[in-house]
A and B are shown apart, each in its own frame.
Chain A
């Protein structure tokens, strides 16, 4: 089938008109590490009025605290507010209980803003790092997230995932009169915008490796179809609208292929790989059971997927070069589904049933499995690009919420939306410059 650009103007227009000023997601840390690292994020020297009054340090502080791994000093307790490492008296800040201090300056540079930050270990008095960023007034918030990513990496040893985005589906209204929105937001829930709105279900958003495109399932024609949409331009292509199920898109690491689930009119769900440039379709599984929810291995050489070929749903792995060889990889529960491989390829997250509860489980490639969450209807796990955290959909008092859990189980967060149900989160990759 040829690529068919379809007009999404009407849908987007409807979204613009019909969407009231809706509530954004608010982060609650539901559990942090037992000994968070104390640090002081000192308010940055400002470039008034070029910075538009934006408080960069406050966003850096909020990011780091929201990770559950840091405890920031209250500004009201700061006796001075140095903006340069040379002005920081390590003993004073150490005496106030801090391990680290972050100082910074925003300065106007033509039409651009320049941000210089320095990170000081006040236990040793050593400057751990310094970094320069350029930004415009419009993307200062993103620069703040990048600073938080940097500070996080310098102290924890792994790059932060604050300067990333998430996609999710928001469902408003009560059955049967529900409306669906596909939303993209910063990882902290800010800067959200509606990518698609429909009176019919939208499912399974999946990011391209470069973060420029989303694939998703839309039932806007009443039947299922898989679309890919470029976020910047809104350009949209319907890539699969075959008879039966068109579902569960997952982008290959090289961005050239889409794994997806098709059933044909006979209703047998199997996994296929679609080459986006040539539209060539390759069948990967051929089994009378339900085969669905493909997720790529980090090297792009195999797919993990859900199949109930042995009775209940379990996770299997198939090598694309040797499709006859299908290996079961989950055991220990009668229900394991929707696998997602960690960015480093060393672990796998999925939905697992414990008693009557559906929770997020993870296992290493040797099969050592753990259950990470405590909810009753947890689903749709998605790894942060640094592999440290999973975002997933949960349920709280009948309300759909987005939750995060660190892969070590130590930190949990809830992203609340006080309007509508939020579900099917997908954590995007790091932005490519």
Chain B
């Protein structure tokens, strides 16, 4: 398996050089390579911000997880300098909580992000604060602690490039990534 993976990585490298890295699908366990999710997993109100990690992990897709058990809306946006969950996401989170409490083996990684402004490491703290806000909201609805992992990418993985209010708004987010 290990040599197989290395082979894939080399191949991805070659494809990247050929300018077609977006189409290079990694194997399920390539942890240093991500690909954009299939467009179909994005719901209407966040299609503009569909990004790597927003969908099902490559691993879970390959494992044949039933996509139907996962709510479509997996991105929550936040106001500037805020980790308050907007009221518009109450029902979204309740849907996630129901799915998670219904199957204690399902796990979700909560990925917190900020916009590009300010110091990168402090932004890791702000992104973690957002991920924790979502974690607490889910736990209050009965989701088990062991089902939830948080990670903060701060400003490091923008969903949208650019220094505009629109891009900043798209980047201040928490993505829920089902990992099995």
B145 / chain A contacts, CB cutoff of 8 Å: 265
Cα A65 to Cα B88 with chains together (Å): 58
Are A224 and B34 in contact, CB atoms less than 8 angstroms apart? no
Whether B32 and A379, one on each chain, are in contact in the complex, defined by CB atoms closer than 8 angstroms, is no
The answer to whether A200 and B120 have CB atoms under 8 Å apart is no
Q: Which residue on chain A has the smallest CB distance to residue B156?
A: A201
B129 to chain A, nearest CB (A): 7
Contacts A17-B10, A377-B163 given: A351-B156 contact, CB under 8 Å?
Answer: no
**Shortest Cβ distance from B31 into A: residue:** A221
* A203 within 8 A of partner (CB): yes
Q: Report yes or no: A200 in contact with B34, Cβ–Cβ below 8 A.
A: yes
Query: For the complex, is A370 an interface residue (Cβ under 8 Å from B)?
Result: no
Check A177 against B22 for contact (C-beta < 8 Å). yes
Please provide the chain B residues from 92 to 117 with a CB less than 8 Å away from any CB of chain A in the complex.
109, 116-117
Of B14, B52, B124, which is within 8 A of A292 by CB?
B124
Pick the most buried of B32, B116, B149: most chain A CB atoms within 10 A of its CB: B32
Do B31 and A224 touch (CB < 8 A)? no
A290 lies within 8 A of B122 (CB): yes
> Which residues in A have their C-beta under 8 angstroms from that of B17?
17-18, 20
Residues of A within 8 A of B14 (CB): 17-18
What separation, in Å, do the CA atoms of A223 and B150 have in the docked complex?
A: 8
Q: Which residues of the partner chain B approach A175 to less than 8 Å between Cβ atoms?
A: 51, 157-161
A201 and B13 form a contact (CB under 8 A): no
> Does A247 sit within 8 A of B, measured CB to CB?
yes
A337 and B159 contacting across the interface, CB-CB below 8 Å: no
Chain B residues positioned under 8 Å from A200 (CB to CB): 31-32, 34
How far apart are the CA atoms of A358 and B114 in the complex, in Å?
Answer: 15
Q: A175-B157, A263-B128 are in contact. Are A14 and B13 (CB under 8 A)?
A: yes
Partner of A306, one of B12, B35, B119, B158: B119
Give, as a whole number of angstroms, the nearest-CB distance from B148 to chain A.
9
Assess whether A68 is interfacial by the CB under 8 Å rule: no
Q: How far is the CB of B49 from chain A (nearest CB, A)?
A: 9
Interface residues of A in 220-252 (CB under 8 A from B): 220-224, 243-245, 247-248
A10 at the interface (CB under 8 A from B): yes
A36 at the interface (CB under 8 A from B): no
The answer for the CA separation of A224 and B120 in the assembled complex, in Å, is: 14
| B61 interface hit (Cβ, 8 Å) | no
Q: Which residue of B lies closest to A179 (CB)?
A: B16
Interface SS, B side: mixed
A424 within 8 A of B: yes
Q: Min CB distance, A422 to chain B, in Å?
A: 13
Docked-complex contact B13 and A379, CB < 8 angstroms: no
Decide yes or no whether A387 CB sits under 8 A from chain B: no
User: Does A335 make an interface contact (CB < 8 A)?
Assistant: yes
Which one of A13, A178, A338 lies within 8 Å of B122 (CB-CB)?
Answer: A338
Question: B113-142 toward A: CB 8 Å interface, digit per residue (1/0)?
Answer: 000111111101110110110010000000
When the two chains form their complex, are residues A267 and B128 in contact, meaning their CB atoms are under 8 A apart? yes
**B153 touching A351, Cβ below 8 Å:** no
Given contacts A269-B125, A313-B122, A358-B118, contact A18 B16 (CB under 8 A): yes
Contact (Cβ within 8 A) A176 B52:
yes
Contact check, B163 vs A380: say whether CB atoms are below 8 A apart.
no
For B12-37 the 0/1 string (1 means CB < 8 A from A) is 11101100011000000001111110
User: Are the CB atoms of B126 and A335 closer together than 8 Å?
Assistant: no
| CA gap between A222 and B54 in the complex, in Å | 13
Question: In the bound complex, do residue B157 and residue A178 qualify as a contact, i.e. CB atoms below 8 Å apart?
Answer: yes
Q: Does A61 contact B (CB under 8 A)?
A: no
Q: Which of A223, A248, A358 contacts B151 (CB 8 A)?
A: A223
Query: Which residues does chain B contribute within 8 Å of A290, judged by CB atoms?
Result: 122, 125-126, 128-129
A3-24 to B contact mask, C-beta < 8 Å, 1/0: 0000000110110011010000
In the complex, are the beta carbons of A267 and B132 less than 8 A apart?
A: yes
Known: A11-B32, A20-B17. A379 touches B22 (CB 8 A): no
Q: At the interface, yes or no: A261 with Cβ under 8 Å from chain B?
A: yes
Report how far A394 CA is from B110 CA in the complex, Å.
Answer: 30
Instruction: Note all chain B residues with C-beta closer than 8 A to A433.
Output: none
Residues of A within 8 A of B120 (CB): 203-204, 379-380, 423-424
CA distance A290 to B128 in the complex (A): 10
Q: Which residues of chain A (341-380) have a CB below 8 Å from chain B?
A: 351, 353, 358, 376-377, 379-380
29 A–B contacts, CB within 8 A, in A order: A10-B32, A14-B10, A14-B13, A17-B17, A18-B12, A173-B21, A175-B51, A176-B36, A176-B157, A176-B158, A177-B21, A177-B22, A177-B36, A177-B52, A178-B157, A199-B33, A200-B31, A201-B153, A203-B121, A219-B151, A224-B124, A245-B124, A265-B149, A267-B128, A292-B121, A338-B121, A358-B118, A380-B120, A398-B163
Q: Closest 9 A-B residue pairs measured CB to CB?
A: A290-B125, A18-B13, A267-B132, A201-B156, A176-B51, A17-B13, A176-B52, A337-B119, A338-B119
List 20 other contacts, CB 8 Å, given A14-B9, A313-B118: A10-B32, A13-B10, A173-B21, A175-B160, A177-B22, A177-B35, A179-B16, A199-B33, A203-B156, A204-B120, A222-B31, A224-B124, A245-B125, A263-B128, A266-B132, A267-B129, A292-B125, A337-B118, A377-B116, A380-B120
